[in-house]
Structure 1
Amino acid sequence: MRTEFTPAQLSDPDIAEADKILRKCVHCGFCTATCPTYVLLGDELDSPRGRIYLIKQMLEHDEPPTAEVVKHIDRCLSCLACMTTCPSGVNYMHLVDQARVRIEKDYARPVSERLLRAVLAFVLPRPKVFRASLILARLARPFAALLPGAKGSVTPTLPRRIKAMLALAPASLPAPGAAAGRVFPATGKRRGRVALLQGCAQQVLAPRINEAAIRLLTRHGVEVVLVADEQCCGALAYHMGDDRDALARARANIKAWTREAERGGLDAILITTSGCGTVIKDYGYLLREDRDFAGPAARVSSLAKDITEYIASLDLPASGSRSELVIAYHSACSLQHGQKITQLPKDLLFKNGFVVKDIPESHLCCGSAGTYNILQPDIADRLRDRKVANIASVKPDMIAAGNIGCMIQIAGGTSVPVVHTIELLDWATGGPRPGLN
């Protein structure tokens, strides 16, 4: 793609990076076949190719984004399926994230939308506040039917978004998990030492996931640290265009993990929420221009691993028993497209006695995508229903996934138990059977 940035514009490192990304795009259109919003809506501007053109125009002209640009960028799930498909290596992730930052700085959203986004950005990264909000949401859910706002629009109203938010609130909340600052010693001879990301939403909605990870790791000789002063990874804020908050959280995490590594050593920073993992692995890029943090950020990114990557490196013995449970493996977009981890979780499940089934259209997003199922609930519901129908076609006993957002989203459309991959691996190697939804 030909670009026309001025020398002055190209002196900005972000614009220079956008220029490199744009020039790789050859308009081939391969991305349209794997883009969930294009598959559903059939609008060229709701495809990666169309959005790339809109972003190019916005950045080149250096003008405030129009309502049309914002509408189509907001509809992007950042599932990154286009990056898996692209034969030219276009880094759409970095381009669309830059566009979102520009939109939040230069576009005046309606007051109601600004308020909703501000509430989400404040509540979700703070576990205590999030827990309190879920209790209030449970109390308010019976009144959701009184809210106006019809389902089925691709431009949802504020009441429709509030309905979606209330619908996602669980009927009950588990007890809080282990507190930050705890160290879980290895059983027997120590083979390694890792930090385990505590997470934000996952910490409130499903602390059992990290509990399973801790049991499995310590059982196999790995010491696990829940690092004090750790914060939200920044993904939620960054994908809503608030780079200042996101990068501040990234810097705080880098400091905390670096201190822990210097104090006791760390073989890895393990992540059980793949959406967080994609962003933490990108810290080195996000802070590449920061003189004080570029080096530490790159080191943290190199230490970051999805939990299945690390478990595979331990080369655990295969389970001697076969459960014969049929597991439908849902590959989270942030894992398969963002981190390029596709076969490994399925291999681990199979090695440990499960019958693993691929899901038709596994490349398509389930519609969760961070806050997408709140901000774009009708598109998200259509994607969830499509995903659930594809899952049902393989007749599973359980559904496994590596991302809490996907788990909550899919569970909203099926009675089949949805569990984390690590819960199944923990069960297969001596832990308790995962609880049913």
Structure 2
Amino acid sequence: MQTNLADFIRNTPDGDEADAILHKCVHCGFCTATCPTYQLLGDELDGPRGRIYLIKQMVEGAPVTRSTQLHLDRCLTCRNCETTCPSGVQYGRLVEIGRKLTEEKVARPPGQRLLRRLLASAVPNSAIFTPTMRLAQHFRRVLPKKLRDKVPARQRPLEWPTAKHTRKMLMLAGCVQPSMMPNVNIATARVLDALGVETVIAADAGCCGAIRLHLGYNDEALDDMRANIDAWWPYVEQGVEAIVMNASGCGATVKEYAHLLRHDPVYAEKAHRIVELTRDIAEILPDFEEALTAVTRRRSVHTVAFHPPCTLQHGQQVRGKVEQLLSALGVEVRLPADSHLCCGSAGTYSLTQPRLSYALRDQKLDRLQAQEPQVIVSANVGCIAHLQSGTSTPVAHWIELVEHMLSV
């Protein structure tokens, strides 16, 4: 795709990157076949190819309209199109540039501005989010259904392992997971403990930056990333083996730190090292498969349907590892039809685009439940909460299932 960048963006980092990405697109349209919003709406501008054209027009100086912003807002950033694309178009990075431009050039309606500012301020801030979630969970039974859907039932926390081990790995606790689903982190630590690995959490690490980044608060998102690097760096210098992610959305973002901070003279090199160390728990445990088999035994749950989050299979390009590991432990894993498609959670998408989000959720649940599972498992807190809001079938993180199988 040929471009002629406008003066306002020519010879800038965003302009150079957008130009390089646009040149890779050959208009083939394969991406539309795997785009969830195009499948729902049937509008070319609500598919990757159409959005690419809109961004091309923007960087070439065409007027940016509210309609342009709406089509970019509807994108889930699932990155399924990147998996499909034969030309290697990095659409996820391109759409973030497009969103940044629309935020600069198009004034949002007051209600949208307020909602997005509230989400960007409260959700990544555990000092605000945790007590709010605790209060909502206390009154969950009397909340209106729309609010109750956003509030998972409170978990009874497992016991955090206290043993000390020579082998140590850092883990990102996350901003919402400790209050929404604390047992995901605890289960991860317990499984690693059973394998002789101590899990360490840096107290000052917080949100990975994804929420603010995708809402268009780029500078604040970069500050989140720098704060995490500062919190992790002493442990990196002490030689931790890995930085463990059990929320695939966080993992996908942390693995982008080197790219997002590439022009930061203080953090660029450190960010590169952080990316080298960052691994989803699904990438770590296969190395321990034999030892894990020895410390687990088959329990009552023997059939699960697995929803691989977009941030795992498309963002991180991690596929098949969860299924293979659970199968090795004696669990039958069933993948639904169209397992490559998004469930509609997508961070704050269910709040900013509820109609599309719930349509995708219901479609996904129909296909998951057709597998007749005892439990639906996934790998991201947002997906789990979103899916659970639409079904009575238990939905859990797959690492919780592994922890339940521990025999030690």
**Structures share a fold, TM > 0.5?**
yes
Task: Quickly say closer, same or farther: Cα 1:242–1:166, change in 2 above 3 A.
Answer: farther
- 1:116-137: per-residue Cα shift (whole Å, max 9, x none)? 1111111111223113323555
Counterpart residue identity of residue 130, structure 2: R
Given candidates 332, 338, 349, the residue that maps to 2:315 is 338
2:68 maps to which residue? 69
The answer to whether residue 151 in structure 2 is matched with residue 169 in structure 1 is: yes
- Secondary structure at 2:60 match in 1: helix
Give the Cα–Cα distance (whole angstroms) in 1 for the partners of residues 391 and 371 of structure 2.
13
The answer to whether residue 228 in structure 2 is matched with residue 249 in structure 1 is: no
1:203 maps to which residue? 178
Given candidates 245, 259, 263, the residue that maps to 1:289 is 263
How much identity, in percent, do the aligned residues show? Answer: 43
- Secondary structure at 2:184 match in 1: helix
Counterpart residue identity of residue 204, structure 1: S
Deviation (angstroms), 1:274: 0.2
1:156 maps to which residue? none
TM-score (norm 2): 0.94
The answer to whether residue 18 in structure 2 is matched with residue 18 in structure 1 is: yes
- Secondary structure at 2:290 match in 1: coil
Give the Cα–Cα distance (whole angstroms) in 1 for the partners of residues 197 and 303 of structure 2.
29
Task: Quickly say closer, same or farther: Cα 1:362–1:237, change in 2 above 3 A.
Answer: same
Give the Cα–Cα distance (whole angstroms) in 1 for the partners of residues 143 and 329 of structure 2.
45
8 Å contact from structure 1 (residues 44, 50) kept in 2? yes
Give the Cα–Cα distance (whole angstroms) in 1 for the partners of residues 136 and 95 of structure 2.
32
8 Å contact from structure 2 (residues 187, 403) kept in 1? yes
Give the Cα–Cα distance (whole angstroms) in 1 for the partners of residues 235 and 156 of structure 2.
27
8 Å contact from structure 2 (residues 149, 386) kept in 1? no
Task: Quickly say closer, same or farther: Cα 1:295–1:184, change in 2 above 3 A.
Answer: farther
- Secondary structure at 2:304 match in 1: strand
1:104-183 aligned within 5 A: 104-135=103-134, 137=136, 139=139, 142=142, 144=144, 164-165=146-147, 167-170=149-152, 172-174=153-155
2:384 maps to which residue? 407
The answer to whether residue 27 in structure 2 is matched with residue 27 in structure 1 is: yes
Task: Quickly say closer, same or farther: Cα 1:298–1:143, change in 2 above 3 A.
Answer: closer
1:154 maps to which residue? none
The answer to whether residue 331 in structure 2 is matched with residue 354 in structure 1 is: yes
Counterpart residue identity of residue 122, structure 2: V
Task: Quickly say closer, same or farther: Cα 1:13–1:165, change in 2 above 3 A.
Answer: farther
Q: Which runs of 5+ in 1 are unaligned?
A: 145-162, 432-437
RMSD over aligned Cα atoms: 2.1
8 Å contact from structure 2 (residues 120, 212) kept in 1? yes
Give the Cα–Cα distance (whole angstroms) in 2 for the partners of residues 112 and 7 of structure 1.
33
Task: Quickly say closer, same or farther: Cα 1:421–1:376, change in 2 above 3 A.
Answer: same
- Secondary structure at 1:362 match in 2: coil
- Of 113-122 and 5-14, more deviation after overlay is shown by 5-14
The answer to whether residue 366 in structure 2 is matched with residue 389 in structure 1 is: yes
Task: Quickly say closer, same or farther: Cα 1:396–1:113, change in 2 above 3 A.
Answer: same
Counterpart residue identity of residue 196, structure 2: G
Give the Cα–Cα distance (whole angstroms) in 2 for the partners of residues 102 and 184 of structure 1.
49
8 Å contact from structure 2 (residues 161, 189) kept in 1? no
TM-score (norm 1): 0.88
Deviation (angstroms), 1:107: 2.0
Deviation (angstroms), 1:224: 1.2
Give the Cα–Cα distance (whole angstroms) in 2 for the partners of residues 307 and 20 of structure 1.
33
- Secondary structure at 1:10 match in 2: coil
Deviation (angstroms), 1:8: 7.0
- Secondary structure at 2:149 match in 1: helix
Alignment length (residue pairs) = 404
1:4 maps to which residue? 4
